[in-house]
C-alpha cells in the first residue's frame, strides 16, 4: 500500500484525487457508508435507513462505491432477489472521517441555525 501521498493534489482539477474527493464528499455517499458501517445490509434496508434516497441514486452510488473497491456486492440467486452490500477494508477506513463529519454537523447544528437567522435578518433589513 503506497503511503506517498505527495503526488496527489485534490486542488488540481485534473488530479484523480479530486474526483475521489468529489465522490466521497457526495451527499449520498456519506450517508450510505454510514448506513453500512454496522455490517452488511440489503438494498431495501439501505433505502429505509437513508431516508429520501431514490432507488436510482442508491444503485448509482453503490455501483460507484463497488467500482472504487469500497463496497462489496453479494448476490444470492434466490427469488425474490437478495443482494447484500458490505464495506470492504478500504470502505471501513472511510467510516471514521465520515463519522467525524456527521458528528460535526450534529454538534454545530444549533450554532449554524442561529447564524442563519442573524444573516437572514440583516440581509432582509438591508434590502428594505
Task: Select 68 or 84, whichever has its Cβ closest to a copy of itself.
Answer: 68
Q: Which parts of 27-56 interact with DNA (CB under 7 A)? A: 28, 42-44, 52-56
Of residues 18, 13, 62, the one with CA closest to residue 40:
62
Site string for DNA, 56-95 (x = CB under 7 A): xx-xx-x----------x-----xxxxx------------
Task: Select 25 or 40, whichever has its Cβ closest to a copy of itself.
Answer: 25
Q: Which residues bind DNA (CB under 7 A)?
A: 26, 28, 42-44, 52-57, 59-60, 62, 73, 79-83
Amino acid at each position: 500500500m503506497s503511503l506517498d501521498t505527495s503526488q496527489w493534489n485534490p486542488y488540481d482539477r485534473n488530479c484523480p484525487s479530486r474526483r475521489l474527493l468529489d465522490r466521497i464528499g457526495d451527499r449520498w455517499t456519506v450517508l450510505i457508508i454510514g448506513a453500512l458501517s454496522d455490517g452488511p445490509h440489503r438494498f431495501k434496508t439501505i433505502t429505509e435507513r437513508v431516508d429520501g434516497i431514490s432507488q436510482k441514486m442508491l444503485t448509482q452510488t453503490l455501483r460507484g462505491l463497488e467500482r472504487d473497491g469500497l463496497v462489496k456486492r453479494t448476490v444470492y440467486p434466490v427469488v425474490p432477489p437478495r443482494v447484500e452490500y458490505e464495506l470492504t477494508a478500504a470502505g471501513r477506513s472511510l467510516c471514521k472521517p465520515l463519522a467525524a463529519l456527521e458528528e460535526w454537523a450534529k454538534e454545530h447544528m444549533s450554532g449554524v441555525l442561529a447564524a442563519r437567522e442573524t444573516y437572514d435578518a440583516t440581509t432582509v433589513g438591508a434590502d428594505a
